[in-house]
Structure 1
């Protein structure tokens, strides 16, 4: 895991002091809200529906126990006892007092954390596969490259005021677990002539105009990656719309200009940058990679899960073993997803006590490391199989032992109208109702990604849900539009809108109708929902929903 160097520490300390002075001036009335707004956004502070919201960066979703304990402390001391983990692998606090924010940032700096570039028209937190460095199918651990991108993009003088916010995702495996094709730039590890490099995709995104990114280059070597990214950003910064925020993202530029012309301009910029100061020396890549070296795995770790008999006697534990474990590259180890989607709770939320307990589990069982996933869950990446039952029993004690990773109740949901000033409808109650409705049946449906957004900005990624739900408002009534067939993996697809919106009370019934079609018409019990939809098309689902 990366550790701050002297520059990092000084930089964060100076920024915190600067923002502390700005907050004092705002509280004293020396700055108006309009004057304060760009200053607070540069430091991850939003003004939401009821209060300020602070978004804290978790670079590429990686934390240690000390950092998680600090996040718990902040929730307990400065908020209402919980935090909300997001699809950018960050954490948000929904109720901080403005005058407390400088103190929060000071405390974050003590554990090498900050809120810089979690907002504004800049390059946001780089996200990656939550199983990076542990996954059995990984070509390369993407985190060293993600860290290099973080260092390159932090306060980049040319890209601090882009036409619009800019998001980058990177995965080191052929199976995309980071939704790279729905980012402004997506990177996928690739091998060519025995060398590992990167496939580069550009122009993806969600929001009111969801688009799948287009491949701009099928292989960029490590040493040229920063130069190539800089070339893309230069072209975007030059041509991106600044007169219309709805057309400002790079996806619109790619769509309207065409990938061929964009590629031509990027290659021209790249030709000027290649072999220059942005060329990454191998010794620097090696130096940063040492921070992400594999932990000291036990060579004699038992490669059989403990307590298999117990699983036969305990259906919930058996479900947990089936759904929440991910195959590790090291024999005798596994990765555990800690679901923050307990039935009836708020998706993505964790209390201060839960965060403290998870920090202890990471310290005791996962080499002091844990991850935040873009699906709003937490992960213990390196766990001995012989320790799984002990971890499960501790999760039971803190109410986070739900074995539902990838099932219908493992819902991505934005805060919606309960918090967000932009939202048209609530998201949280709808997610809770769905989870309660199908809790006893979710094993029947297998993998089923349900995602909910409270407005067209799509913070809940509804476009790429196998079933997506979008909150809209019509004549003062909250309605929910249903989409089917979205996919955030390497087979990226935007879901089909089935028709008019339904009321919140009707959403669980609507999902049941869709699931009945799937159950009745699937080829066999092993055919996933998404495969059945692709085979059947939208017609039978639309007919079931609207008659």
Structure 2
């Protein structure tokens, strides 16, 4: 795990002191809200419907137990006892008082955390596969290069005032668990024919008002040249991205309207000038940063744990948990454990201070002092011995964190919606809760199989509804909250944007609508191995439309 050097510490402390002065001036009336707004946004502070919201950066989703305990302390002392984990692997506090935020930032700085560039028109927190460094299918750990990008992009003077916010994600496996094709820049770790490590670069993806799948503009950029290539992309965007219309300001619009070939030509021309210059990252520097992410020392263990198998025979709940919430590890005898933050009837992504402390304790005792935040709004223990899974499961049961639903229909992404967000048109949380309760029976969820539902309270798509197998978008129609349903979205290597299937439904009609969609799928699938997306591709939308709206 990366550790701050002297520069990092001095930088974060200076920034914290600077913002404390700005807050003091705002509270004293020396700064108007209009003057204060760009300053607070540069430090992760939003003004929501009912209170300020503070967004904490969790670079590439990696946390130590010490950091997680500090997040718990802040939730308990300065919020309402919980935090909300987001799709960008960050944590949000929804109820801090403005006068307390400098103290919160000082507490964060003590454990090498901050809120810088978690908002505003800048390069945001870099995200990565939550199984990085652990997954059995990994080509290489993407976190070292994500850390290089973090260092390059933090307060980069040329890119602090971009036309619009900018998001970068990195995947180290061919199976894309970081949704790279829906980012402004998505990076896929690859090796060329000589075995050299490099990156496939995808540009121009995004969701929101105009969802688009990114275009692959370069199939292999050597790791030492990656920053030069990223700078070339950013320069073209900063030069030509629109500043007269925020709805057309993202790089996806620039790529779409200019054309991928022309954008690629301009990027390559910039890259040719930058390549070999000061942005070249020496291989030895990359290797040095990799040492921070060196795998822990794993004990030699059998691939099958007799301890776990015996415990499963005695505990059906443990069996279900293992089946759904364990991911294969690259080292025999180990696994990555997903801790679902989606209890039946709960609020997706929320965790209490006490639950964060439980996860911190488990990470320290069983997972080499490391936890991860996933973009599905769950937590992960990346390196766990199979022998320890029964004890971990027992602790999670006691903490209310043992829901065995990873990848199933109740493992939903949902934005805060109109309960918190000033931009939202409709509530998201009650819809997620109602669907979760409708489909809460685990046996039924398992029968349905892998199926993702994602819910957004407005067109900004913070709930990623465009890429849900079933997406739900809240809209306002003459003061009434209605919910449009989309089908066929997918965030991974087979990226797709879902299609609106018809008119929206009132809030109390959404669970029934989802029930009809699921029932149609179950009735017409060829067998239990045919997934929802496969069935939709075979059947088309017609049977689902008929189930929802009747014959037309």
Partner of 2:261: 260
1-side partners of 2:335 and 2:122: how far apart?
Answer: 36
Partner of 1:41: 41
Partner of 2:481: 478
Partner of 1:329: 330
The within-5 A match list for 1:304-453 is: 304=305, 306-440=307-441, 441-453=444-456
2-side partners of 1:315 and 1:416: how far apart?
Answer: 36
Superposition TM-score, scaled by structure 1 size: 0.99
Partner of 2:20: 20
Partner of 1:524: 527
Q: Is structure 2 residue 458 aligned with structure 1 residue 455?
A: yes
2-side partners of 1:505 and 1:342: how far apart?
Answer: 21
2-side partners of 1:293 and 1:112: how far apart?
Answer: 19
Partner of 1:113: 113
Q: Is structure 2 residue 492 aligned with structure 1 residue 489?
A: yes
Describe the SS at the equivalent of 1:397.
helix
Residue range with higher mean Cα deviation, 145-154 or 519-528: 519-528
Partner of 2:197: 196
1-side partners of 2:69 and 2:151: how far apart?
Answer: 25
* Unaligned 5+ runs, structure 1: none
Residue range with higher mean Cα deviation, 505-514 or 531-540: 531-540
1-side partners of 2:279 and 2:403: how far apart?
Answer: 46
Contact 2:79 2:95 in 1 (8 A): yes
Describe the SS at the equivalent of 2:92.
strand
Runs of 4+ residues deviating >2 angstroms: 300-316
RMSD: 0.8
Partner of 1:242: 243
Distance 1:20 1:141, change over 3 A: same
The within-5 A match list for 1:186-225 is: 186-193=186-193, 194-225=195-226
Deviation of 1:304 after TM superposition, in Å, equals: 2.2
1:162-204 CA distance string (max 9 Å, x none): 0000000000100000000000000001121221211100000
Q: Is structure 2 residue 6 aligned with structure 1 residue 6?
A: yes
1-side partners of 2:310 and 2:418: how far apart?
Answer: 46
Describe the SS at the equivalent of 1:410.
coil
Describe the SS at the equivalent of 2:186.
strand
Contact 1:121 1:164 in 2 (8 A): yes
2-side partners of 1:186 and 1:426: how far apart?
Answer: 30
1-side partners of 2:330 and 2:502: how far apart?
Answer: 44
Describe the SS at the equivalent of 2:20.
helix
Describe the SS at the equivalent of 2:408.
coil
Deviation of 1:407 after TM superposition, in Å, equals: 0.5
2-side partners of 1:391 and 1:301: how far apart?
Answer: 19
* Unaligned 5+ runs, structure 2: none
Deviation of 1:412 after TM superposition, in Å, equals: 0.2
1:203-227 CA distance string (max 9 Å, x none): 0000010000000000000011000
Deviation of 1:313 after TM superposition, in Å, equals: 4.3
Q: How many residues are treated as equivalent by the alignment?
A: 547
Describe the SS at the equivalent of 1:169.
strand
1:337-376 CA distance string (max 9 Å, x none): 0000011111000000000110000000000001000000
Contact 1:496 1:538 in 2 (8 A): no
2-side partners of 1:323 and 1:36: how far apart?
Answer: 46
Deviation of 1:310 after TM superposition, in Å, equals: 3.7
